[in-house]
Structure 1
Amino acid sequence: MSDKKPRICVNKDLSLADQHIAISIEGLNAFQRVSLYAKIILPNKAAFESISNYIADSSGRICLQSDKSCGGTYEGVWPMGPLSSMVPSSTNERKYERFLIKDPMQPFTVHLQVYDTFISEVDSVPQMKHKLLTQHDITRTYAAPGVSEIEIWEGRIRGTLYIPCGSGKFPGVISMSGGYPGAMKHKAALLASRGFVALALKFFGADDLPGNFQQLDLGYFVEAAKFLKNHERVTASNGVGIIANCSGASLALATASCAPHGLIGCVVAISGWIHCFGHYWYEDQKWSPSSSMKKIKMTIETNSDGIVEWRYDVAPIMFKETPEEGSHFAFYKRLHTAYMFVYGGKDGYFPDTPEFVKMNKNLLISAKHPAYKFLFYQDAGHLIEHAFSPLAKVAWTFHEPHFNGGAQPGHGLAQEDSWPKILRFAYDNLTTNQNKL
């Protein structure tokens, strides 16, 4: 028997929400079987948790960097598995909670516990029938020390601005979510922590904004981009960027297709599409769904678990070589704007995502566009977030739980791979001229 006391070791007790940390367990018996339990309780009392089973080596040590989990919410070597594989707790008041912290200026705590047995299901941990060997808390945050938060209500613009610590100027980006009313602020705070002045932009469902995103003046987004570009803390010789998900990504592409030249330096479109599903306008330009798009047979089904799933066949219409004029956003004609597309092969909203990649590539190639990248992840779902964020396979949208798709560990690994590439892409295209004509 070892005379050492078991303990959890981490290299950082305080870290950013997208930052990798090294976790190990020491002081165990040789080849001892244990379970590592992780839990986060959000401010709204919703809990997220994970469980993983490990076998100590001959010295009584487990290193998540190299040792395999034998079961639980993930298997195999996954250094950040305790966080990335978290699932909503069955004890939550509402099913299908999404990991979402509405006030990113407030840090959150990750509770780590080690039990002296293999535990296969997270539901059995609260029963407290297992021997607790050791525990340790770490703190994660979206806002690095010194990041400032400013509410914006200027002209038509509604949102929250996050500015990095330090003096000088920084590249500027607009962060937009999809079918979520108001603004999700956490990603903008994280972008500020990574050296961007980031505007979490609201565009529907809050304040005095439209109630939905089916009819919008794209001039609103142009106005927001101009506001950010002209901010005293923003360096914008290449314009500003937009990083957005879902319908926000589509509106980002729409904005890039009509904004004044030099205003939008880059767009990162995550799970977005270029076809118009609503009615939009900018000055004398108008976009609306094509006549063929209106004929798509869409079925919205609710399964036995109460989850809403979309069923439709878009392939014959959406993947034409040349989309109908005025029914899509011709972003590819803007050669001074760089584009990154991020898609998942298990997107619950859009089947045939490889076809989206093919179509968009063909459009960019036909326009001889000089600056674009595509990231495609076979097991990723619709909600591709920053690194180490739990998968929201189902999430509440318009007061209903919608199926978003994704399979672990592929979805989590996609986020770990894509997030630093997104940051690098935005930084390079907003601060250098390497991809500009």
Structure 2
Amino acid sequence: MAAPRVIVEPAGRVCWDEPVRIAVRGLAPEQPVALRASLRDEKGALFRAHARYRADARGQLDLQRAPALGGSFAGLEPMGLLWAMQPDRPFWRLVKRDVQTPLQVELEVLDDPEPQEPQESAGPEGGRVLARAVHERHFMAAGVRRVPVREGRVRATLFLPPGEGRFAGIIDLFGSGGGLCEYRASLLAGHGFAVLALAYFRYEDLPEYLCDVCLEYFEEAVAFMLQHPKVKGPSIGLLGFSKGGDLCLSMAAFLKDITATVLINSCVANTVVPLHYKDMIIPDLGIDPSKQKTTESGLLDFGDAWNNPLEEPNHQSLIPLEKAQGPFLFIVGMDDHNWKSAFYAQIASERLQAHGKDRPQIIYYPETGHCIDPPYFPPSRASVHAILGDTVFYGGEPKAHSRAQEDAWLQIQTFFQKHLNGKNSMKYPGAGGSRL
């Protein structure tokens, strides 16, 4: 009998947001085995997941057809070995900083003569390794170009798809952790968009801390995109997460040439620091410290701490999104413990309709937390905040959150294809989000 071997298809260059088929050949009929996946991030942290399976009557195992019998997850989860990975460091989040290099995922098949109970989560220790393979997952599709941007005050990276044409442009903003996060922009460029990952503090010569924010900086970034020979005008889209989301709302409300805006777990009020634009100042929403919670394990929970933007005097921080020209898509995690994303999306819908505008598209994802990443990133339920230095609880149940990440990624692409390229043809696998 041939030795067992691991098969990963497709065998060529695979990006992180792409599913793969994982299979094992050469096992004994009905043989019980454990599969283990592991990787090390750029700072050396080890992430691992495992699951137990049983080969079929021909000695074959295909994760697209065979349910996991226990381990880090159970049931039919073809990509479970990736999204169920857990770090060896407490509250450590998987973030890819250098998108020009892949992450190496080691896949192992271990002999598992006595499968444990399905709820058992400890890794298979001491099992004999029957087969091993290394699977590379990239963050730049073949032909995608990475262009550092130092134009005027703008500090960013532009990702351009392969090809000779011009591409719909998107500006991508992250939250209050600061720095320059490129992994979402680099992956999105692989789907045909010119995406600018834009830093706005804690990067190079930008301010070290998030203090007063001037919208003119973001206006300069919009102008850069529209003047770029590879960006197809006459307008662009915006993609913002957390604090980056309310910045995108402000950009859509006050700046020209914004056609479509996607908000991932964002507030409808200006948050954290005051926003300046010309002779206007929008105050920040603010927090009521008495409403800030701490979980049983000592994690910060900000879900109820933010002031209500509909009450006096907090309404002054509301962003006049009814001034925006283009449509909105709100991605909402129903278990977001950073702030009340569902409540804010409803405020946006009511405000737009009260001003005679179309209501936004809102997709609610049950049991989904704050940090909604591209597909197959292990869901981050809590991590040490880069600025606060404290561990923040974000919420979410891993399996449901992972499903939401897959669906939201397709919804985002479809929204931009429709409103930036005039296309409406993408299909969804159906991940359980409820749509309005």
TM-score, normalised via structure 1 length: 0.89
Corresponding position of 1:111 = 106
1:11 corresponds to which letter in structure 2? E
- Write the distance in 1 (CA, Å) between the matches of 2:315 and 2:279: 15
Aligned CA distance change for structure 1 residues 298 and 147 (closer, same or farther; 3 Å): farther
How far has the Cα of 1:99 moved from its partner? 0.8
How far has the Cα of 1:280 moved from its partner? 0.7
Contact 2:16/2:139 (<8 A) preserved: yes
Are 1:151 and 2:148 counterparts? yes
Are 1:135 and 2:114 counterparts? no
Corresponding position of 1:281 = 276
Report SS of the residue matched to 1:357: helix
Corresponding position of 1:396 = 384
Q: Which has the higher contact order (CA 8 A, sep 6+)?
A: 1
Aligned CA distance change for structure 1 residues 428 and 371 (closer, same or farther; 3 Å): farther
Contact 1:115/1:131 (<8 A) preserved: yes
- Write the distance in 1 (CA, Å) between the matches of 2:78 and 2:287: 47
Are 1:62 and 2:58 counterparts? no
Are 1:357 and 2:355 counterparts? no
Corresponding position of 2:334 = 345
**Which digits, 9 at most, give the CA deviation of each residue in 1:69-127, with x for residues without a partner?**
111111111111111111112xx4xx3221111110111211111111136767645x5
Corresponding position of 1:223 = 220
Corresponding position of 1:327 = 317
Contact 1:337/1:371 (<8 A) preserved: no
Report SS of the residue matched to 1:145: coil
Gaps of 5+ in 2: 425-436
- Write the distance in 1 (CA, Å) between the matches of 2:84 and 2:163: 34
Corresponding position of 2:309 = 318
2:60 corresponds to which letter in structure 1? R
Aligned CA distance change for structure 1 residues 76 and 318 (closer, same or farther; 3 Å): farther
Contact 1:51/1:121 (<8 A) preserved: no
2:168 corresponds to which letter in structure 1? P
Corresponding position of 1:187 = 184
Report SS of the residue matched to 2:302: strand
**Which digits, 9 at most, give the CA deviation of each residue in 1:386-432, with x for residues without a partner?**
01111111122123322111112000000011101101111221122
Contact 1:297/1:312 (<8 A) preserved: no
Aligned CA distance change for structure 1 residues 149 and 311 (closer, same or farther; 3 Å): closer
Corresponding position of 2:247 = 251
How far has the Cα of 1:173 moved from its partner? 0.8
Are 1:412 and 2:409 counterparts? no
Aligned CA distance change for structure 1 residues 26 and 252 (closer, same or farther; 3 Å): same
Q: What's the RMSD between the two structures over aligned residues?
A: 2.3
1:38 corresponds to which letter in structure 2? A
**Which digits, 9 at most, give the CA deviation of each residue in 1:126-183, with x for residues without a partner?**
x5x1111111111110111222212111111011111112211111111111122211
- Write the distance in 2 (CA, Å) between the matches of 1:121 and 1:284: 60
- Write the distance in 2 (CA, Å) between the matches of 1:400 and 1:62: 43
1:254 corresponds to which letter in structure 2? S
- Write the distance in 2 (CA, Å) between the matches of 1:295 and 1:85: 33
Aligned CA distance change for structure 1 residues 332 and 147 (closer, same or farther; 3 Å): same
Report SS of the residue matched to 1:370: coil
- Write the distance in 2 (CA, Å) between the matches of 1:376 and 1:319: 22
- Write the distance in 1 (CA, Å) between the matches of 2:304 and 2:415: 33
How far has the Cα of 1:318 moved from its partner? 3.4
- Write the distance in 1 (CA, Å) between the matches of 2:423 and 2:226: 17
TM-score, normalised via structure 2 length: 0.89
- Write the distance in 2 (CA, Å) between the matches of 1:42 and 1:199: 24
Sequence identity of aligned pairs in percent?
Answer: 27
Report SS of the residue matched to 1:318: coil
Are 1:213 and 2:203 counterparts? no
Gaps of 5+ in 1: none
**Which digits, 9 at most, give the CA deviation of each residue in 1:330-372, with x for residues without a partner?**
11332x2121111111112124x43233222212222332373
- Write the distance in 1 (CA, Å) between the matches of 2:328 and 2:14: 30
